[in-house]
Structures are given as structure tokens and as C-alpha cells.
């Protein structure tokens, strides 16, 4: 791994902020590295307030969207809330439909079948709307590229409101309103909302016309926080406010369905990381293994007994998903090893029998192993479908755009995308994708990077520092948990391998003159000899807490050792 130490702010800036906030130099340095330079910015960072949320009517077409929904309600029209089958999509559908159903009953939900319909707006979904006398579809977390589908809907007398956060193509669909802050002519001040976040802005706008305040919408923020966590969007600006307050709802007063999921775990208080690794995979498992509508049903359920039954079924899907994910990852790794050329800049694998529901997870695992832009293909009807994942710093969406002559359709973000192509285009695409990546990627991006906030001496690591750092949460892109580097470390003699095949490292580390601190290094069991050796070593880590038999102690969470 590459260790990159972030530039240290000037002494003058550190001293100024340190004095203004009454914090030590290290905390001031960490805040400046996050763009915080004065008391007011620090106050907003540590205490995100709901009044920091932007006016939803600053988003292009928001007035048109609200007007069309009000018209539908006034005319007693049937409304269909349509969303993608992943966490962002299912939480969006649960949010929008729950909000509308509070005051209006003619609302139905629709999640496309991942296998029969694929991603986004489907003709089958539009036919369902036409057959059920639905005249307005609100599409969430999808639709920005559904030009032909929305044209088809219009021919059937169905209007569309699109709420999306993916990058628009050159041609926009002919919808009544398109809410997407990534539109070039949208002046909304924050561009990084997830799909559920865009949906929340719409209910915020609707609510303001109905005399509601932001306080009336707090109970929807558990859904938004879950989507923010799962979709790996930056936790900055408006997303930080929504994640902060949404986490409070999750921990203090979650909706019945989320409470049922939490009750299956041993967790008493969830962080954003817990939402990513505990809540999100279970919600996702419904769409991966069965149907996303199961997740919507759980998230909209008010009866706890029924919600527990739904959560139990979803847990079964999740167990099945984990088993398939492990099996396919093994097969994909073998395929890469057998076909790998020394100078490959990409990893592209295909098996027609792989389960479409887990290829995205497999692509992530392969990227972690080989650290290359990665595509995992499987058969989907008469075409091939793939999930793409990228490495830090490389825009895989742009690379796919350069190969668009081979593709039927594609969409997504900088680091994750999906696509379909005809089987006869596979080999051509594979070569073209490798060529584009090899010509455009900086070779150093093919080596994993650890970005270090600051060097630290072990005597600076105290419970007080930990208390302050916990207030930096919620963590995520744009505000990752602070990472430190310490030099000249030694082990007390306690170091050992732990876990299955001793692949994790447990040790107790100190510097000359400091007290030892316990440390855990996941997947660092191969560094045991370095730790047990005679020579001192350096380590990169974040700070963590370890609870054992009711006692909480500081712990280093090791990222790398050398």
C-alpha cells in the first residue's frame, strides 16, 4: 500500500483555530483538513442543524413537480411510486409512498424485477401503470436516461416526474419535471444527494406547501440516512445534516421495519458503518435474491409482529446471498488467475450462470484483491449484464462512455456502474475497455492508497481525544474517520494471529516511554513476523473502542504496518 500523508496546514492557521475553539493543535489540524477554518464552520460541523438544509425550490423543476402532484391529488388520479431495487431505490419508494399515503390513498408502489426487467424504468412497469389507470409515475433513483420508456408512457397518457441523482445523458427524457442536481442547468447548491435524498427534497417541498415544517419530516430521515450510507455518497453539507439526524432517528425512534432489522443484531447503538454493513446488505438482499418489493413492504410496515416476519424472510435471503457471493468470488478469482496477463490494467470476467443479484458485490471483492477497474458479467435474457467497480481516483463511468459504441445501455457513478451489451460485442468491448483504461489511468492508482491525516505519538492517544473524534461522525466519503501514523513502535510480546486461519493480527503496541495500547489488524495476520521482530516498525491506524465484559478501552484499528 502507498501511504500518503496529507499536507499539514500552516502553523498560523492551526494556532488561530486552536485558540478560537479551545482545542489542541491536532484537533485543529484535523478540522482544517476538512475545510473548517472558524468557529461558525466548526459549530455547523459538530452540531448539524436542520435549518442548514437548502430550500428545495432551488432545484430545477421542483415547482413543476409539486404542481403536478397537487393536480393529481385534486383530480383524484392514481399515482405510482416507482424505484430501483437496491437500498437507495427501495428506501426512496418507501419514503415517497409513505408520505403521500398520509393524506391520499390512491398510491401504489412498483419495483422492477431485477431479472425479468433489469435496472430502471421498464416497459412492463409502464404497462402495469396503464392497466391500472395510473396517470402519474414518480420515478426515484432512476429515470434520467429513460428517454424511450418515458416517450412510450406519454403515448399511453402517463406523466412522469423523475427524481434521480445519476449523471444525465445528452438527451433528457420528456418528463413533466426532472429533479436531478447533476443537470448542467440545475443551480441547486449541493450536487451529491442520493436518490432518496432527492425524494426527500420533493416531500420537503410538498410539505412546505401543506404548512409542514422540517420538524414534521424528521421521522423520514432514517430512510434517507440508510440510503446515504448504502450508496456511499459524500457525507458533507446537506448529506451530513440528513445522515446525522437520520442516525438519531435510527437509534432513538426507528420505523417499525428498521427496528425489526436492528433486533436481529446484537447492536444497541448503530453508526453509519453499522448501517453500511448490517442494515443495508439485508435490505439489498431482497432485490438481489427475490424481489425488491419485499424490502419496500418491510420499510412501510407498521405492525411489529408482521415486520419481524418480513425481517426474518429477508435475513434468509441475506444468508443465501452471502453463500452465493463467496462461491462466485472464488470462481471469478480462478478465472482472473488463469487468464491474467502481466500488464493488465483491468479485470473483466464472465460466466453465464453467475447470479445477477450478486455480481456487484463480487466486482467489489475482485477490486479489493487485484485493485483494478473491474467488470463482472453474467447472462441476462438474450444479453449480457455487468456490474463495474473502480479504484480510488479513476472514473469508470467515463471509461464506459468511451466504449459506448459496444453497449446497449449503461449508467452509474464515478466508482460504480452497470451496463448491458449483446453477447457478440463482449470480446470487442473487453479489449476496448482495457485499451481505454490503460491509456487514461495513472499507474500509481493501481496500488491501494492509505491517506494519513497526521503523524501522532502514542502518548497523545487518550480517552479525551477519542471523545472528540467521535463527534466528527458520521463518517464517510468527504469525512472519513481520521487516520494516523505512528513511528518506532514495538509490541509488548503479546502479538498473535487470531480468527479463521489466524488471518487477523492482535497485538499491544507502545513507543519508547509510552503506555501500551491494544491493537487489532483485520487481514494483517501476515504481518505477525514484522510485529514480533527485533526492529521497531511504523503503523497506520484509526482509533477505535473495544468493549470486553462491560469494560470499554481504547484500541488501534490497524490499516497497515511496515
Q: For the chain, which domains are there? A: 56-314 (3.90.1640.30), 340-446 (3.10.310.30), 450-561 (2.40.50.460)
Q: What is the DSSP letter of 473?
A: P
CA atoms within 13 A on the CB side of 281: 18
Q: Is 418 exposed, middle or buried (0-12, 13-18, 19+ CB in 10 A)?
A: buried
3-state secondary structure at position 507: strand
Strand intervals (E) in 335-467? 347-350, 374-380, 383-389, 409-412, 416-421, 449-452, 454-455
Q: DSSP label at 479?
A: B
Nearest alpha carbon to residue 197 among 166, 170, 176, 173: 166
Rounded distance, CA 250 to CA 483, Å? 27
All three cell numbers of 537, joined, read 516498525
- Residues ≥6 apart with Cβ < 8 Å to 142: 82, 83, 84, 89, 119, 120, 121, 164, 166, 195
CA distance 36 to 288: 40
- What pLDDT shows up at residue 232? 85
**Phi/psi at 419 (5° precision):** -155, 160
Residue 312 has, within 13 A of its CA and on its CB side, a CA count of 6
Taking alpha carbons only, the member of 348, 408, 355 closest to residue 380 is 355
Note the pLDDT tens digit of each residue in 346-377. Answer: 999 999 999 998 999 999 999 999 999 999 99
Q: Express each pLDDT in 258-273 by its tens digit.
A: 999 999 887 888 999 9
pLDDT digits (tens, 9 = 90+) for 110-122: 999 988 888 889 9
Q: Using alpha carbons, select from 392, 388, 384, 355 the residue that is nearest to residue 374.
A: 388
Question: Given pLDDT bands bounded at 50, 70 and 90, which one contains residue 551?
Answer: confident
Model confidence pTM above 0.85: yes
Tens digit of each residue's pLDDT (9 = 90 or more) over 503-543 = 999 999 999 989 999 999 999 999 999 999 889 999 999 99
Residues 6+ apart with CB under 8 A from 530: 537, 561, 562
Q: How many residues does the chain have?
A: 562
Distance CA 195, CA 413 (A): 12
pLDDT in tens, 431-478: 999 999 999 999 999 999 999 999 999 999 999 999 999 999 999 989
The answer on pLDDT for 257 being more than 90 is yes
- Tell whether the torsion through CA atoms of 144, 145, 149 and 152 is positive or negative: positive
In degrees to the nearest 10, what's the CA dihedral of 526, 531, 532, 536?
A: 150
Provide the CA 44 distance to its chain's centre, in angstroms.
23
377 strand-pairing partners: 350, 386
CA distances from 103 to 62, 99, 200, 326 (A): 20, 8, 17, 45
3-state secondary structure 71-112: HHHHCCCEEEEEECCCHHHHHHHHHHHHHHHCCCCCEEEECC
Q: What's CA 118's distance to the chain center, in Å?
A: 20
The Cα 396–Cα 414 span in angstroms is: 6
pLDDT at 342 over 70: no
Q: Which of 105, 122, 94, 117 is nearest to 295 (CA)?
A: 94
- Residue 503 contacts residue 550 (beta carbons within 8 Å): no
Integer-rounded Cα radius of gyration of the chain = 25
Q: Assess contact for 461 and 543: CB atoms under 8 A.
A: yes
Amino acid at each position: 500500500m502507498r501511504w500518503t500523508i496529507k499536507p499539514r496546514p500552516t502553523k498560523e492557521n492551526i494556532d488561530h483555530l486552536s485558540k478560537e475553539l479551545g482545542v489542541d493543535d491536532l484537533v485543529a489540524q484535523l478540522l482544517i483538513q476538512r475545510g473548517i477554518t472558524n468557529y461558525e464552520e466548526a459549530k455547523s460541523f459538530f452540531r448539524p442543524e436542520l435549518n442548514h438544509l437548502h430550500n428545495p425550490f432551488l432545484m430545477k423543476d421542483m415547482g413543476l413537480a409539486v404542481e403536478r402532484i397537487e393536480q393529481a391529488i385534486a383530480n383524484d388520479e392514481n399515482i405510482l411510486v416507482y424505484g430501483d431495487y437496491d437500498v437507495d431505490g427501495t428506501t426512496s419508494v418507501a419514503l415517497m409512498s409513505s408520505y403521500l399515503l398520509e393524506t391520499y390513498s390512491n398510491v401504489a408502489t412498483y419495483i422492477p424485477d431485477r431479472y425479468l426487467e433489469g435496472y430502471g424504468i421498464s416497459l412492463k412497469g409502464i404497462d402495469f401503470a396503464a392497466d391500472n389507470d395510473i396517470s402519474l409515475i414518480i420515478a426515484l433513483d432512476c429515470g434520467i436516461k429513460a428517454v424511450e420508456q418515458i416517450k412510450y408512457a406519454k403515448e399511453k397518457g402517463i406523466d412522469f416526474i423523475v427524481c434521480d441523482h445519476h449523471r444525465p445523458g445528452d438527451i433528457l427524457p420528456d418528463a413533466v419535471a426532472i429533479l436531478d442536481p447533476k443537470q448542467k442547468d440545475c443551480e441547486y447548491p449541493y450536487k451529491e444527494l442520493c436518490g432518496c435524498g432527492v425524494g426527500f427534497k420533493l416531500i420537503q417541498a410538498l410539505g412546505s406547501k401543506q404548512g409542514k415544517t422540517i420538524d414534521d419530516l424528521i421521522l423520514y430521515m432514517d430512510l434517507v440516512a440508510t440510503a446515504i450510507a448504502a450508496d456511499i455518497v459524500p457525507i458533507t453539507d446537506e448529506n451530513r445534516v440528513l445522515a446525522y439526524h437520520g442516525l438519531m432517528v435510527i437509534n432513538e425512534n426507528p420505523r417499525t421495519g428498521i427496528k425489526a432489522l436492528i433486533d436481529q443484531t446484537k447492536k444497541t447503538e448503530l453508526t453509519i458503518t453499522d448501517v453500511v454493513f448490517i442494515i443495508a446488505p439485508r435490505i439489498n438482499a431482497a432485490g438481489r435474491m427475490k424481489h425488491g418489493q419485499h424490502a419496500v413492504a418491510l420499510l412501510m410496515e407498521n405492525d411489529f409482529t408482521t415486520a419481524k416476519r418480513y425481517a426474518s424472510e429477508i435475513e434468509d435471503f441475506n444468508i443465501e446471498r452471502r453463500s452465493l457471493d463467496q462461491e462466485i468470488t472464488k470462481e471469478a478469482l480462478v478465472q482472473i488467475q488463469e487468464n491474467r496477463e502481466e500488464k493488465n490494467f483491468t479485470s473483466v470476467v464472465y460466466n453465464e450462470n453467475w447470479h445477477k443479484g450478486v455480481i456487484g458485490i463480487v466486482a467489489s471483492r475482485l477490486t479489493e484483491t487485484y485493485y483494478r477497474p473491474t467488470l463482472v458479467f453474467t447472462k441476462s435474457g438474450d444479453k449480457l449484464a455487468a456490474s463495474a467497480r473502480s479504484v480510488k481516483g479513476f472514473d469508470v463511468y467515463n471509461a464506459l462512455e468511451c466504449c459506448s459504441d459496444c453497449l446497449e445501455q449503461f449508467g452509474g457513478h464515478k466508482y460504480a456502474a452497470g451496463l448491458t451489451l449483446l453477447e457478440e460485442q463482449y470480446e470487442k468491448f473487453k479489449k476496448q475497455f482495457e485499451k481505454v483504461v490503460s491509456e487514461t489511468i495513472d499507474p500509481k492508482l493501481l496500488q491501494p492508497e492509505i491517506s494519513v491525516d497526521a503523524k501522532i505519538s502514542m502518548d497523545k492517544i487518550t480517552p479525551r481525544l477519542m471523545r472528540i473524534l467521535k463527534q466528527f461522525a458520521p463518517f464517510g466519503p468527504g469525512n472519513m474517520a481520521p487516520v494516523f501514523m505512528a513511528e518506532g513502535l514495538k509490541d509488548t510480546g503479546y502479538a498473535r494471529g487470531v480468527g479463521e486461519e489466524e488471518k487477523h493480527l492482535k497485538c499491544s503496541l507502545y513507543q519508547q516511554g509510552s503506555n501500551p495500547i491494544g491493537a487489532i489488524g483485520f487481514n494483517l495476520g501476515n504481518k505477525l513476523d514484522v510485529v514480533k521482530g527485533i526492529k521497531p516498525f511504523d503503523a497506520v491506524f484509526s482509533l477505535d473502542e473495544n468493549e470486553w465484559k462491560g469494560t470499554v478501552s481504547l484500541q488501534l484499528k490497524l490499516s497497515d504496518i511496515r
